[in-house]
Amino acid sequence: MTNTESASVSPQSSHNSHATGASAASTPASTKRKTADQPFFDPVAYGNGPDDSVTDTTETAAVTHHSITIGGHKINYTATAGHLVIVDPSSSQPEARMFYVAFTQDNQKEEARPVTFFYNGGPGSSSVFVLLGSFAPRRIKTSMPGFTPPAPYSMEDNPDSLLDKSDLVFINPVGTGYSAAIAPKTNRAFWGVDQDADSLKQFIKRFLTKNNRWNSPKYLYGESYGTARSCVLAYRLHEDGVDLNGITLQSSILDYTQSGNPVGALPTAAADAWYHKKLGIAPRPTNLGVFAEEVAQFSRTDYLAALRKFPTTDSATVEKLSEYTGIDKATLLAWSLDIAAYDSRGNSLFLTTLLKSQGLALGEYDGRVTAIDTGIAGKIDPNSGGNDPTMTAVTGVYTTMWNVYLNEQLKYTSNSSFTDLNDQAFKYWDFGHIDPTGAQKGLDAKGNVILYTAGDLAAVMALNPDLKVLSANGFFDYVTPFYQTVLDLQQMPLLSQQVRQNLSARFYPSGHMVYLDGVSRTALKADLAAMYDATVSNTQAVGRIRALQARVAQ
């Protein structure tokens, strides 16, 4: 099986073929290697409720100095963990303190050194998951797809770190981490699609100003709901004269109306059955990517037709569906052929049925992961992501090592509780969104708001024709299925085929958190490096982006 696959299921499978070799330059020389570390204890109480706020308006941080070797090259870097204050764009009054962790290579030049802004999704998630798991200079060790045993845990220098290509800034939206509204504003004022995007826009602009980075190449990296956030944020940044060089959409959900679409989910179900050797096909396919394309072809043709004409059925189609999923025909018919169906408690029928004879359920975030599905383990609320087998497998190591890393290595301490996942933010989230046409596009037949942001992505790609977009997806992710992402990107309102050449899709033998799989993380790093090299080495494109930024800012 190859590390990555980009067969014809991808909307555009090839990167722009500019020469590589980005300049090894970065942030202003704001830190010196001999400067002493600056630990910081933060006494502010950060509440994560909807009506909480703080009064402190200072920008404080812990600053530490480190080095790492990536690809045989030693990189000296500075880590900054602390707060920036964002202001209301109309009154310029402070409205939130946002917690972030930045890793910046020392003694580099603003113009040549990229900066990438990372965030997770939820909504209501801090950035701790992408920070500790993906491309920061240090990362946790997990046993994925197995359960990571209890402490002692360990961290390691990350050979797949993106620090050799870009400075890295991990943002915690208001109500997550140690981020909070400043009175008289309260946290709930930022809990909505547009409100959230505007706050991150203000954060990015503040970071660029404070660190003299306005002329640096700029990138976004969002995961899960963070992909929807990236679409809105990228367009709103453009409106404010901040144009991007690249966007990475990892585990995308761009059209919530398609959540639970069985056509988009079937190839993931087949990948899960392939992994657990439950296919009704002999011999078992050897190449997962080629097999996934075969199932995608069946899904968009015969399977789609079968769903539309049910309960009338075609025996050959039902037989093929059974072979691809490992589910017997009688059970599939009982599910009305809907491979994405859920029971009354929110349990995925497929994920709890495939290995039911073994007393196991598959993880929704990563179908390779299994957990005991009998007794009390089968009665835990499935709607809590923390109880999904995938999240259960890594929650312990994440919680412990974040405290160790932040407190002991980055030297930032606080009496407040760090909010890694805020259920209250999700509960009160406003999913209404006014897109670039000035309309609320995400509405169902009853007028209920359902988020749609692919139009924002199409708009910003059309306005900035040098913007590169990389879509990264795991084959075993049932939360945001890879083939549904392909369908969403294919159907977004972007007419220019030339601009569509800037969009690439890659698929990895991993789950929702692609980077937790070592082979996939290395492959994704290589794909990211290619995108960064192409965008930075193309000096004409960089010049056009800077000219566009200057023109919009006037």
Q: Does 168 reside within a domain?
A: yes
Q: Are 418 and 99 in contact (CB under 8 A)?
A: no
Token representation of residue 109:
């030049």
Percent with pLDDT over 70 in the chain: 88
Looking at every residue in the chain, the average pLDDT score rounds to 88
In the prediction, which pLDDT does 547 show? Answer: 77
**CA 10 → CA 299, 484, 487, 490, distances in Å?**
15, 11, 9, 9
Same domain? For 245 and 266 the reply is no
Domain-terminating residue out of 353, 382, 411:
382
Of the listed ranges 11-20, 204-213, 226-235, the least confidently predicted one is 11-20
Same domain? For 230 and 282 the reply is no
Same domain? For 411 and 366 the reply is no
In the prediction, which pLDDT does 490 show? Answer: 95
CATH number at residue 242: 3.40.50.1820
**Residues of 429-450 as b/e, b for ≥16 C-beta within 10 angstroms?**
beeebebbeeeebbeeeeeeeb
Say if residue 138's pLDDT is above 50: yes
In the prediction, which pLDDT does 393 show? Answer: 66
Q: Does 4 reside within a domain?
A: no
Q: CA nearest 499: which of 532, 527, 463?
A: 463
- Top pLDDT among 498 and 21 is at 498
In this structure, what is the dihedral angle of CA atoms 6, 10, 16, 19, given to the nearest 10 degrees? Answer: -10
Same domain? For 90 and 191 the reply is yes
Q: Does 388 reside within a domain?
A: no
Same domain? For 244 and 267 the reply is no
Domain range for residue 291? 261-382
Residues sharing a CB contact under 8 Å with residue 332, sequence separation 6 or more, in sequence order: 318, 321, 322, 325, 339
For the residues of 45-56, what is the DSSP string, one character each? ----STT--B--
Same domain? For 154 and 202 the reply is yes
Q: What is the pLDDT of residues 161-214, one digit of tens each?
A: 999 999 999 999 999 999 999 999 999 999 999 999 999 999 999 999 999 999
Q: What is the pLDDT of residues 321-365, one digit of tens each?
A: 999 999 999 999 999 999 999 988 788 999 999 999 999 989 899
Same domain? For 229 and 113 the reply is yes
Q: Does 2 reside within a domain?
A: no
Same domain? For 250 and 266 the reply is no
Token representation of residue 260:
């639970």
In the prediction, which pLDDT does 442 show? Answer: 64
Q: How confident is the model at residue 379 (pLDDT cuts 50, 70, 90)?
A: low
Q: E strands within 426-539?
A: 468-474, 503-508
Q: How many helices (H) and strands (E) does the chain have?
A: 16, 16
Q: Are 267 and 292 in contact (CB under 8 A)?
A: yes
Q: How confident is the model at residue 116 (pLDDT cuts 50, 70, 90)?
A: very high
Report the alpha-carbon distance of residue 210 to residue 216 in Å, rounded: 13
Q: Does 247 reside within a domain?
A: yes
In the prediction, which pLDDT does 123 show? Answer: 93
In the prediction, which pLDDT does 212 show? Answer: 95
Q: Does 32 reside within a domain?
A: no
Q: Establish how many alpha carbons lie within 13 A of residue 155's alpha carbon, considering only the half-sphere containing its beta carbon.
A: 21
Q: With 0-12 CB in 10 A as exposed, 13-18 as middle and 19+ as buried, what is 90?
A: exposed
Q: Does 391 reside within a domain?
A: no
- Computed on alpha carbons and rounded to an integer, the radius of gyration of the chain in Å comes to 23
Same domain? For 233 and 267 the reply is no
Q: How many domains does the chain have?
A: 2
Report the alpha-carbon distance of residue 485 to residue 472 in Å, rounded: 9
Q: What is the pLDDT of residues 37-62, one digit of tens each?
A: 999 999 999 999 999 999 999 999 99
Say if residue 374's pLDDT is above 90: no
In the prediction, which pLDDT does 380 show? Answer: 54
Q: Does 545 reside within a domain?
A: yes
Same domain? For 344 and 491 the reply is no
Same domain? For 199 and 246 the reply is yes
- Top pLDDT among 110 and 2 is at 110
Same domain? For 470 and 327 the reply is no
For the residues of 49-101, what is the DSSP string, one character each? STT--B------EEEEEEEEEETTEEEEEEEEEEEEEEE-TTT--EEEEEEEE
